[in-house]
């Protein structure tokens, strides 16, 4: 099966080659874990390596922020926009939703005119502004995700997690059921240093690596490295060495 | 005497590209509009409601509503209906975009800014 490669070393291997075509892929993490960078790298790789124009829908950051952040990795987003391979659109969830519901809306026109294949939506968390009613919100987000698929787009949808370390309490995981894949980024504390972990929690219609890998943001973008060896409880944010757990469980009794 | 000084100042301040002077006097005749056109220049693909634009621009919606409508009337912005919302985006007119580009570039120069501020203040006193 042909895959939509993210171009992120390590991640494509975890995904069995990349995302599946025309799917919605959720990337969730706390601020600074690398969600937006992952999404930008997915868009950048599509443009330079696969000839697939990209669209970034931002609900919070100004486009200048993306140009600046991309430039720090050597990705010239301004030039790509001038060449018609990329469009960074600052808008709001309510407007983009209404636009996609329309026949011949602005996003639909962009997709047709530019031949957009990949989209980064940064971030889905802002949809919560539209309604506080969970059932209504679920319907709105479901419709939005489906409209992206209808346009033939493979999407990376970011979502903010409030917990800096470990699992966030009380998070509504309804979204996890709607998307085709679910990638979690987490901070973990190991020997008094904060590191980042990546886990592919779900991938519909495909096998995937279930390991918890180390994630590094380098000068070239994100790199997903080897799994955390000899530790457990990584996603709790405070992993223990497995040998310590063994001692605690058996030796000290 | 005072009038003659004003005229002299006026003449000095009018020493700019006539197209930009006209653009300033007829379309960007308030500081809020100046902010708004700068915002749309920096975010040329934005289409949004007055509420959201106010939030992006750090202004109150009451402050920008009339100004957005004025800019749309003057052809700098486009005003459209999207579902039950009124949304604004930068006009697709090539000449307007070119003029805006020149205006924003010129605004980087302090001398130009001083002149532009003079014309805006003078315009609001009329």
Q: Do B43 and A62 touch (CB under 8 A)?
A: yes
CA contacts within 13 A on the Cβ side of A237:
10
DSSP per position, A90-120:
E--HHHHHHHHHSTT-HHHHHHHHHT--EEE
Smallest CA–CA distance, residue B83 to chain A, in Å, is 6
Closest-approach residue (CA) in chain B for A104 = B82
Of B43, B85, B87, Cβ closest to residue A90: B43
Share of chain A above pLDDT 90, in %: 72
Task: Give the chain A residue whose CA is nearest to the CA of B55.
Answer: A60
Instruction: Name the E strands within chain A.
Output: 3-4, 19-20, 24-29, 54-58, 86-90, 118-122, 154-160, 181-190, 193-203, 212-218, 221-227, 231-232, 240-241
Cross-chain Cβ contact B46/A87 below 8 Å: no
Residue A56 CB-density burial (10 A; 0-12 exposed, 13-18 middle, 19+ buried): buried
- When the pLDDT of each residue in chain A is averaged and rounded to a whole number, the result is 90
> Chain B residues with CB inside 8 Å of A102's CB?
82-83
Query: Does A113 touch chain B if contact means CB atoms closer than 8 Å?
Result: no
Per-residue pLDDT, B123: 73
**CB atoms B49 and A94 under 8 Å:** yes
Predicted confidence (pLDDT) at residue B2 exceeds the cutoff of 90: no
The kind and range of the H/E element at B80 are strand B77-82
Contacts of A99 in chain B (CB under 8 A): 47, 82
Q: Which residues of A touch B57 (CB under 8 A)?
A: none
Which residues in chain A have Cβ-Cβ distances shorter than 8 Å to B43? 62-63, 90
Name the band, by pLDDT with cuts 50, 70 and 90, for residue A243: low
CB-based contact (8 Å) between A35 and chain B?
A: no
Out of A198-207, A236-245, B92-101, least confident range: A236-245
pLDDT of A222 above 60: yes
CA-CA-CA-CA dihedral for A133, A138, A143, A145, to nearest 10: 130
Among A47-61, A87-101, A226-240, the range scoring the smallest mean pLDDT is: A226-240
Q: What pTM does this model have?
A: 0.86
User: pLDDT digits over A108-129, tens only?
Assistant: 999 999 999 999 999 999 998 8
- So what's the pLDDT on residue B120? 85
Region A139-144 average pLDDT: 94
Q: Nearest residue of A to residue B44 by CA position?
A: A89
Q: Name every chain B residue with its beta carbon within 8 A of the beta carbon of A63.
A: 42-43, 45
ipTM of the complex: 0.75
pLDDT value of residue B119: 84
Asked if A95 reaches chain B (Cβ–Cβ under 8 Å), the answer is yes
Q: How far is Cα B44 from Cα B36, in angstroms, rounded to an integer?
A: 11
Any B CB within 8 A of A130 CB? no
Q: What are the distances in angstroms from CA A50 to CA A13, A67, A70, A105?
A: 17, 21, 18, 26
Q: Which chain A residues touch B88 with a CB distance below 8 Å?
A: none
pLDDT tier, B8 (very low <50, low <70, confident <90, very high otherwise) = low
Q: Strands A118-122, A154-160: parallel, antiparallel or unpaired by DSSP? A: parallel
Give the DSSP H or E segment for B87: strand B85-90
CB contact under 8 A, B47 and A101: no
Q: Which band of pLDDT confidence, cut at 50, 70 and 90, is reported for residue B1?
A: very low
Model pLDDT for residues B27-79, shown as the tens digit of each residue: 888 999 999 999 999 999 999 999 999 999 889 999 999 999 999 999 999 99
A-B contacts at Cβ under 8 angstroms: 43
Distance from C-alpha of B12 to C-alpha of B2, rounded to nearest angstrom: 15
The tens digit of pLDDT for each residue in B76-115 reads 999 999 999 999 999 999 999 999 999 999 999 998 888 8
Pick the residue of B41, B50, B82 with the most A CBs within 10 A to test the interface with A by mutation.
B82
């Amino acid at each position: 099966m042909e895959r939509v490669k993210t171009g992120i070393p390590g991640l494509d291997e975890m995904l069995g080659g990349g995302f599946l075509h025309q799917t919605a892929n959720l990337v969730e993490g706390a601020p600074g874990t690398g969600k937006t960078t992952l999404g930008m790298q997915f868009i950048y790789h599509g443009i330079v390596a696969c000839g697939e124009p990209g669209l970034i829908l931002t609900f919070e950051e100004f486009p200048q922020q993306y140009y600046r952040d991309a430039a720090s990795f050597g990705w010239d987003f301004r030039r790509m926009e001038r060449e018609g391979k990329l469009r960074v659109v600052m808008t709001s969830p309510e407007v983009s939703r209404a636009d996609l519901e329309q026949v011949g809306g602005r996003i639909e026109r962009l997709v047709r005119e530019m031949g957009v294949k990949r989209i980064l939506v940064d971030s889905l968390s802002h949809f919560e502004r539209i309604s506080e009613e969970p059932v209504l919100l679920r319907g709105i987000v479901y419709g939005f995700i489906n409209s992206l698929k209808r346009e033939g787009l493979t999407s990376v949808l970011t979502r903010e997690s409030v917990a800096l370390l470990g699992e966030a309490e009380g998070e509504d995981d309804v979204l996890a059921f709607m998307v085709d894949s679910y990638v979690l980024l987490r901070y973990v504390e190991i020997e008094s240093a904060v590191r980042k972990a990546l886990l592919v929690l779900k991938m519909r219609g495909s096998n995937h690596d279930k390991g918890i890998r180390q994630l590094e943001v380098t000068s070239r973008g994100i790199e997903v490295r080897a799994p955390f060896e000899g530790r457990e409880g990584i996603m709790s944010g405070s992993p223990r060495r497995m040998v310590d757990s063994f001692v605690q469980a058996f030796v000290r009794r | 005497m005072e009038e003659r000084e004003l005229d002299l100042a006026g003449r000095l301040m009018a020493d700019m590209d006539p197209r930009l002077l006209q653009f300033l006097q007829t379309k960007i005749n308030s500081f809020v509009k100046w902010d708004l056109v700068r915002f749309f220049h920096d975010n040329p693909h934005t289409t949004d409601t007055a509420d959201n634009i106010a939030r992006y621009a750090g202004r109150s919606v009451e402050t920008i509503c009339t100004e957005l409508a004025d800019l749309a009337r003057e052809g700098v912005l486009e005003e459209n209906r999207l579902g039950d919302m009124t949304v604004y985006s930068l006009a697709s007119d090539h000449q307007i975009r070119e003029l805006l580009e020149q205006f924003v570039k010129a605004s980087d120069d302090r001398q130009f800014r001083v002149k532009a501020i003079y014309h805006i203040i003078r315009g609001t006193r009329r």
